[in-house]
């Protein structure tokens, strides 16, 4: 029987035999899961992860020409493609 | 347009937002004014950019728009040099991840939710979107902060109740696999066993897609249709010396179903 299973039944007794090695519980915080895990691997149209997207320049709703350089923030750009603005 | 509500979240993270669509600038201007959209809508009238990106959907057919060239709908997250960091495209463009979900995947906090304080950890729940349209894939987030010298068992820890996010089944919600961070191997000398555990702060994510259909009828898109998502987080916590009984925290997320803006 595993220690945890046993202890679950006899709590709140502390069992010395289940004492773990000291100092292991203060590990640094774990990272969040990488976003890649949440993505579909089989369907991957267009530029792939790690590739640079093609240059583009298009007018916005005010008629102003926009490009990656004018749109990006210090940490990049969220670029959405849609079939229609009303979708 | 769900994205409009997430622009602030991206800007907080130093990320610009733009949408590439086929309508002419004049139409986009009217749309932006009507819905108060304050981020760039880019007019790709001849689909040149869609083609250059290699995003043309070859299977698209429309009686209203014969010969129309349309893209797969989806999103790129690129760095300041234009290098793709993450991308979100689905073969079935009816089912799409929300921009709010992308933000939560990047580490942003979600909305709403509950907070639980147990003897061993604190749990905050949230959801990427509080209004969800049929076909949208959104994300439930559980932010856990273990107390010092406490660990929770990760999936794969035999003999313990590993962390498990269980959602109650409904006809209209399709749950996707739960995402956990990488666990840490915990060596437990007295039993000569090494088990995967979580310590400190970590985040559990679960995507859910809202179906278009409830059995054979359309999901209600009444403006105020409430939707309650319920489930539980099953867990077992141990310290360096003591294991505590397995537990289960009942969870609840309250969202609304809304119709697409058309």
ipTM of the complex: 0.87
Whole-number Å distance between alpha carbons of B184 and B200: 11
| CA atoms B126, B128, B131, B134: torsion sign | negative
pTM assigned to the model: 0.82
Q: Which residue among B49, B82, B246 places its CB closest to the CB of A52? A: B82
Confidence at residue A36, expressed as pLDDT on a 0 to 100 scale: 44
User: CB contact, 8 Å: A81 with chain B?
Assistant: yes
B-chain residues within 8 Å CB-CB of A79?
18-20, 75-78
Q: Give the whole-number percent of chain A exceeding pLDDT 70.
A: 52
User: CB contact, 8 Å: B20 with chain A?
Assistant: yes
Confidence at residue B40, expressed as pLDDT on a 0 to 100 scale: 97
Residue-wise pLDDT tens digits, A43-75: 899 999 999 999 999 999 999 999 999 999 999
A-chain residues within 8 Å CB-CB of B160?
2, 4-5
User: CB contact, 8 Å: B122 with chain A?
Assistant: no
A-chain residues within 8 Å CB-CB of B75?
78-81
Say if CB B18 and CB A79 are below 8 A apart. Answer: yes
- Contact A60/B73, CB-based, under 8 Å? no
Whole-number Å distance between alpha carbons of B196 and A76: 35
Whole-number Å distance between alpha carbons of A78 and B10: 8
Confidence at residue A39, expressed as pLDDT on a 0 to 100 scale: 47
User: Residue A9, CB half-sphere, CA atoms under 13 Å: how many?
Assistant: 6
Instruction: List all residues 6 or more positions away from B56 whose beta carbon is below 8 Å from its beta carbon.
Output: B47, B50, B69, B70, B71
> If you count residue pairs, one on A and one on B, with CB atoms under 8 Å apart, how many are there?
311
User: CB contact, 8 Å: A58 with chain B?
Assistant: yes
pLDDT in tens, chain B (262 residues): 889 999 999 999 999 999 999 999 999 999 999 999 999 999 999 999 999 999 999 888 777 767 778 888 899 999 999 999 999 998 777 788 999 999 999 999 889 889 999 999 999 999 999 999 888 999 999 999 999 999 999 999 988 999 999 999 988 899 999 999 999 999 887 788 899 999 999 999 999 999 887 766 777 666 668 899 999 999 999 998 889 999 999 999 999 988 765 4
Whole-number Å distance between alpha carbons of A47 and B89: 11
A-chain residues within 8 Å CB-CB of B83?
50-53
Whole-number Å distance between alpha carbons of B7 and A73: 12
Q: Which residue among A2, A79, A87 places its CB closest to the CB of B75? A: A79
Confidence at residue B95, expressed as pLDDT on a 0 to 100 scale: 80
Banded pLDDT at A4 (limits 50, 70, 90):
very low
User: CB contact, 8 Å: A67 with chain B?
Assistant: no
């Amino acid at each position: 029987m595993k220690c945890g299973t046993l202890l679950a039944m006899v709590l709140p007794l502390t069992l010395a035999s289940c004492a773990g090695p000291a100092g292991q519980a203060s590990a640094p915080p774990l990272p969040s899961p990488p976003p890649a895990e949440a993505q579909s691997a089989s369907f991957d149209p267009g530029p792939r992860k790690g590739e640079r997207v093609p240059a583009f320049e298009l007018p916005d709703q005010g008629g102003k020409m926009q490009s990656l350089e004018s749109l990006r923030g210090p940490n990049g750009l969220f670029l959405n493609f849609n079939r229609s603005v009303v979708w | 347009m769900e994205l409009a509500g997430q622009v602030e979240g991206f800007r907080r993270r130093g990320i610009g937002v733009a949408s590439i669509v086929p309508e002419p600038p004049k139409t986009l201007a009217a749309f932006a004014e009507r819905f108060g959209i304050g981020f760039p809508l880019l007019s790709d009238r001849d689909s040149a950019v869609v083609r250059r990106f290699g995003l043309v959907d070859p299977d698209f057919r429309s009686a209203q728009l014969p010969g129309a060239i349309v893209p797969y709908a989806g999103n790129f997250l690129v760095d300041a040099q234009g290098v793709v960091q993450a991308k979100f495209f689905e073969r079935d463009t009816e089912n799409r991840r929300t921009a709010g979900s992308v933000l939560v995947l990047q580490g942003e906090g979600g909305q709403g939710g509950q907070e639980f304080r147990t003897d061993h950890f604190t749990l905050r729940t949230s959801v990427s979107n509080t209004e969800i349209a049929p076909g949208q894939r959104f994300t439930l987030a559980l932010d856990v902060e273990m107390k010092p010298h406490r660990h929770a068992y990760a999936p794969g820890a035999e003999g313990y109740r590993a962390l498990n996010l269980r959602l109650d089944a409904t006809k209209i919600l399709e749950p996707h696999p739960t995402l956990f961070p990488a666990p840490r191997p915990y060596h437990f000398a007295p039993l000569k066993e090494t088990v995967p555990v979580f310590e400190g702060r970590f985040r559990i994510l679960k995507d859910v897609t809202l179906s278009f259909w409830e059995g054979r009828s359309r999901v209600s898109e009444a403006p105020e249709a409430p939707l309650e998502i319920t489930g539980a987080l099953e867990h077992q916590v141990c310290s360096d010396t003591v294991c505590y009984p397995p537990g289960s925290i009942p969870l609840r997320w309250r969202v609304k179903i809304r119709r697409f803006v058309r």
